[in-house]
Amino acid sequence: MDFDSPAFDLSYRIVHEIPGRLRLRIPALGGPGVEPEDLEDWMDPLGVVTAARANRSARTLVVAYRESIGARETVLQRLESYTPTQEPRLAAGRSREAEIAPMVTNLATIALLPFLSRPLQIALTAANVASTLGTGAETLVRKGIKVEVLDALAIGLSAARGELYTANITDFLLSLGNFLERRTERQSDRLLRKLLRPEPAMAWVEREGELIQVPGDQVIAGEVVQVGPGETIPVDGRVVGGSALVNQAAVTGEDVPVRKEAPLRAVSGSVLIEGRLHIEATQVGEETTTARISRFIQESLDKRSDTQREADRLADQRVYLTLGTGAAVYGLTRNLTRLQSVFLVDYSCALKLGTPVAFKSGMYQAAAHGVLMKGGEAIEHLAGVDTIVFDKTGTLTHSELAVTDVVVLNAQASCTETALLALVASVEEHASHPVANAVVEAARSRDLQHISHGEVDYLVAHGLSAEVQGKQILVGSRHYLEEHRGIAFDDHAEEIARLEEEGKILLFVGNAHGPVGLIALRDTLRAETRETLERLRTQGIRRLVMITGDRRQKAEALARELGLDAFYAEVAPEEKADLITRFQADGSRVAFVGDGVNDGPALVAADVGIAMPRGADIARATADILLMDDRLGAVADAREIATKTMTLIRGNFRAAIGINTGILAGAIGGVLSPVASALLHNGTTIGILFNALKGVRLEGETDVAVSARLEQIKGIASH
């Protein structure tokens, strides 16, 4: 089967197949743009795929998948859509084949030695260990005294003394250790890539007079994309046709859908609720919001924490400690075997690799609970905070709207509040946006009867009208009723201002005689808010603070209800960052949780900035931590994972120092041979790496819960 695209051709052939497993031969594998690791990474995020393994030498790809209807076709379609990537590798280093080759050579050399003459044994050993000796010499010249230099000295001494088996076995153990270390590090990177690599939304594009569907990242700038109800806008662009109601909450933080029509801007990641749009693409591929998670992860891995820098510093110091100890041992004993054993004790790998692997594992576990952390620095800082400041709207409260007030404006209209709500709900049930849903739900909760009406005339993103008992009722925005229908609400400006100052969203109602009423809606307190605040206190947070633009009386009541330590009401957007700075000035380490456009400065000023999933672009760009779920409990999950990850790192650090010091003592005392020293040291390093890779788990969490959560997040990441 062949896949043709303007930029790349990929062909494959199925060479073996059993239920749930495909083995494919891909001639281009290993060639330009088709690296085995890239192809594996491409297949991994697919929901049905359980494992993907590419072999450069055999030019084959093996894919294991969960059997279900259409799963096989989905796997093949995913392969066919592969295109070369210029994306940087998460883990630098040699290919797997290059890592395995030294071990194969070592084993072959060890197996052949008994059958060769002494001169041939020496020659074969010299050839086998030449790579290690060369690496040590190059490291010494370029970087100074590092662990590679000590390894080369130990093996070189064994070979020079005629201890050929010792030299070859030690070299094999070092190669095995390096391979397992790289494999563990690569696995930690692939966990993140598998979980978080976003999939582009599909797009309907007008090409040569036809409408065809392509992946969103294959849309070309200037092309026109059509988007219908329920579809995600796949590109950033300009509306050139149509009218629709669009939910931009995932991008701008605005909970209420907005009207989009020419020539307004459309943002990728937004969801079209009603209507249809024709959008001219202006930003595509890596420039759209669908590529942001991938860049976020890459940036996260590039950030080094203070803990990582300290681990590197201590690891380098211990290389000199090992070298000095070896020199002292030889000076006192003149025993080259002990010197070799000492040189093979390496603190460096466990310290240098264990810390970043633990951080990556922590990032993975956090993502499995709906949290994206920007590297080890974010984990480290979150574990150290003692004060958390919440911007109230969108954090302590959520985006589900609820009716708070029903106001009758025309007393002469012989309409009660109950009748007004029933009337508006009867008309609004024909719409599907959040405001309409909230009004209908309020009427249902009060058991109000449906009021018969004529056909509903709906103007997308403006409002609607209907005939009720021979009279026309109009419901919608103030702009719609005043500008389109000529119904003025100026006489009720004071009432409108009061409701708006309370942060409420207003639905305006009128008829041919003028204004009839108002329905006010507001976001509600999250059900998990109290529980989350209590969890944070048990995790060592000593101060919980709320910032809001609400009036003082309202803010004080909520703060008292939630048991907050402090609140700040009637705060202007530009004052938020100043408050954060004041907390820090008294010695507090502060995390700020927000989601709005005006939260950017506060997120930057805080020691840790946490952005809610419906946050505005600027909030998400400046935050250290992003929540993928609209769930406040994720903040407490993130804090628990951060503190446990730092505990794990400190435990691994103590284990690395303690165990390697014991091995060093055994080498100094002559108890351990060079082979035993190498075996114990590498075993310790691998054990610490696997412990770091295993990561942490939240209190009371089961294996089933973890698996279910991972599957859920994979679905989120894929859309």
pLDDT at 389: 95
CATH numeric code, 2-86: 3.30.70.100
65-69, 168-172, 446-450: which range is least confident on average? 65-69
> With 0-12 CB in 10 A as exposed, 13-18 as middle and 19+ as buried, what is 103?
middle
pLDDT at 88: 44
pLDDT at 603: 84
- Short-list 86, 87, 43, 85, CA closest to 61: 43
Q: Please list, residue by residue across 479-492, b when 16 or more beta carbons sit within 10 angstroms of its beta carbon and e when fewer do.
A: ebbbeebebebeeb
Cα dihedral value 334, 340, 343, 345, nearest 10: -120
CATH numeric code, 371-385+527-627: 3.40.50.1000
Task: Name residue 412's beta-bridge partners.
Answer: none
Place of tokens 């000295």: 153
Q: Please list, residue by residue across 621-649, b when 16 or more beta carbons sit within 10 angstroms of its beta carbon and e when fewer do.
A: ebbbbbbbbbbbbbbbbbbbbbbbbbebb
**pLDDT by residue (tens digit) across 584-616?**
999 999 999 987 656 777 888 899 999 887 655
Q: How far apart are CA 340 and CA 155, in angstroms?
A: 8
84-88, 184-188, 189-193, 682-686: which range is least confident on average? 84-88
Query: Boundaries of CATH 3.40.1110.10 in the chain?
Result: 398-524
pLDDT at 288: 52
Cα-based angle 198, 199, 200 (whole degrees, multiple of 5): 120
Place of tokens 């590529």: 291
Cα–Cα distances in Å, from 519 out to 323, 410, 420, 490, 523?
78, 14, 9, 17, 14
Query: Boundaries of CATH 2.70.150.10 in the chain?
Result: 202-294
- The residue with greater pLDDT, 641 or 397, is 641
Q: How far apart are CA 615 and CA 602, in angstroms?
A: 13
**pLDDT by residue (tens digit) across 197-249?**
545 567 888 888 788 888 777 788 889 999 988 777 888 888 999 988 887 65
pLDDT at 123: 92
Cα–Cα distances in Å, from 393 out to 257, 399, 522, 523, 618?
17, 9, 10, 8, 16
Place of tokens 């749009």: 277
Catalytic site residue from 44, 391, 550, 637: 391
Place of tokens 């004052």: 575
**What is the Cβ-side half-sphere exposure of residue 127, based on CA atoms within 13 angstroms?**
11
Task: Name residue 9's beta-bridge partners.
Answer: 4
Report residue 405 as tokens.
Answer: 């007030």
Amino acid at 371: V
User: Domain spanning 398-524: which CATH class is it, in words?
Assistant: alpha beta
> With 0-12 CB in 10 A as exposed, 13-18 as middle and 19+ as buried, what is 47?
middle
- The residue with greater pLDDT, 289 or 439, is 439
**pLDDT by residue (tens digit) across 526-579?**
889 999 999 999 999 999 999 987 778 778 888 888 999 999 988 876 688 889
**pLDDT of 639 higher than 90:** yes
- The residue with greater pLDDT, 488 or 398, is 488
Per the rule left: phi > 0, alpha: psi between -120 and 50, beta: everything else, 700 is left
Q: How far apart are CA 220 and CA 222, in angstroms?
A: 6
> With 0-12 CB in 10 A as exposed, 13-18 as middle and 19+ as buried, what is 321?
middle
Q: How far apart are CA 373 and CA 301, in angstroms?
A: 10
| Torsional sign, CA 165, 170, 175, 179 | positive
Kindly provide the residue ranges of all beta strands, DSSP E only, lying in 99-201, ordered along the sequence: none
Confidence of residue 716 (pLDDT cuts 50, 70, 90): very low
* pLDDT-above-70 percentage for the chain: 79
What is the average pLDDT score of the chain?
79
pLDDT at 543: 95
DSSP-assigned letters across all residues of 643-706 = HHHHHHHHHHHHHHHHHHHHHHHHHHTT-S-HHHHHHHHHHHHHHHHHHHHH----TT--HHHH
Confidence of residue 167 (pLDDT cuts 50, 70, 90): confident
Q: How many other CB atoms sit within 10 Å of the CB of residue 418? A: 12
Q: What is the mean pLDDT of residues 354-378?
A: 81
Which is it for strands 543-547 and 566-568: parallel, antiparallel or unpaired? Answer: parallel
Kindly provide the residue ranges of all beta strands, DSSP E only, lying in 395-538, ordered along the sequence: 397-408, 457-459, 463-468, 471-476, 505-511, 514-525
pLDDT at 541: 95
Which is it for strands 60-65 and 49-55: parallel, antiparallel or unpaired? Answer: antiparallel
pLDDT at 292: 54
| Torsional sign, CA 113, 115, 117, 119 | negative
Confidence of residue 321 (pLDDT cuts 50, 70, 90): confident
Query: Boundaries of CATH 3.30.70.100 in the chain?
Result: 2-86
**Contacts (Cβ under 8 Å, ≥6 apart) of 717:** 45, 195, 196, 197, 198, 199, 293, 628
**What is the Cβ-side half-sphere exposure of residue 387, based on CA atoms within 13 angstroms?**
20
pLDDT at 710: 46
Report residue 5 as tokens.
Answer: 């695209």
Q: What is the mean pLDDT of residues 378-385?
A: 91
Kindly provide the residue ranges of all beta strands, DSSP E only, lying in 526-574, ordered along the sequence: 543-547, 566-568
pLDDT at 253: 42
Task: Name residue 468's beta-bridge partners.
Answer: 471
Task: Report the chain's C-alpha Rg in angstroms.
Answer: 32
Q: Tell me if residue 246 falls in helix, strand or coil.
A: strand
Query: Boundaries of CATH 3.40.50.1000 in the chain?
Result: 371-385+527-627
pLDDT at 212: 87
DSSP-assigned letters across all residues of 621-644 = HH-SEEESSS-THHHHHHHHHHHH
122-126, 292-296, 395-399, 707-711: which range is least confident on average? 707-711
Report residue 455 as tokens.
Answer: 């056909």
- Short-list 231, 103, 67, CA closest to 175: 103
Report residue 47 as tokens.
Answer: 């929901």
Provide the CATH topology of domain 202-294: 2.70.150
391 part of the active site: yes
pLDDT at 719: 36
Decide: 246 and 258 in contact? Cβ < 8 Å: yes
**What is the Cβ-side half-sphere exposure of residue 404, based on CA atoms within 13 angstroms?**
15
97-106, 396-405, 440-449: which range is least confident on average? 97-106
Highest mean pLDDT among 69-78, 117-126, 424-433, 552-561: 117-126
Q: Tell me if residue 69 falls in helix, strand or coil.
A: coil
Indicate yes or no: pTM above 0.85: no
Helices (H) then strands (E): counts for the chain:
24, 26
325-329, 527-531, 550-554, 686-690: which range is least confident on average? 550-554
